Amino acid sequence: MERPDTDGRAAVFVPATDIKDDVLLAIRKGAAVVGFANHDRSITVYFESNRFEDPVLAKWEHKARKAYDRLVDNAPTVSKLTTSPANFEQIGYINGKGITIRRMDSLQRWLAYSDAMGSCPETDIVPRTVIAKVDAVKV
């Protein structure tokens, strides 16, 4: 699978249980990770961990959508890396219509490890939703 075009399909990953420490530190606990395979057998992943605690990105699927949008737009970001596929487990797919989770148990393992089970999707098919911006309260 190569870099998808707009609305194309990308893989959804979670860190493998034996992920290298430096890779785990780069993506941070609770991150949503999406990506694609390269010709040299590496993978390129884009991730979103909501480092600045934006309430719009409280749910895991919203983080996944943000990472996916960066990936298909080929947007410049520091939230990307190319690594060995041994560091990640593919759990599903994401495209312009939504997310399909094939290994919910692995996603739940990752989110439980990250103390982020409250952000876990309730079903294994997550349709795309529009993320509403939170307006600042005027005083």
Q: What is the pLDDT along the chain (139 residues), one digit of tens a residue?
A: 678 888 899 999 999 999 999 999 999 999 999 999 999 999 999 999 999 999 999 999 999 999 999 999 999 999 999 999 999 999 999 999 999 999 999 999 999 999 999 999 999 999 987 655 555 555 4
Predicted pLDDT at 7 = 81
d(CA 70, CA 31): 14
CB 124 within 8 A of CB 100: yes
Max Cα-Cα span within the chain: 55
Angstrom CA distances, 136 to 55, 93, 131, 133, stand at 12, 34, 16, 9
d(CA 10, CA 3): 7
Predicted pLDDT at 3 = 84
43 token code pair: 């993978």
d(CA 99, CA 69): 13
CB 37 within 8 A of CB 85: yes
Predicted pLDDT at 132 = 56
Helix/strand/coil for 57: helix
Q: For the full predicted model, state whether its pTM sits above 0.85.
A: yes
CB 47 within 8 A of CB 66: no
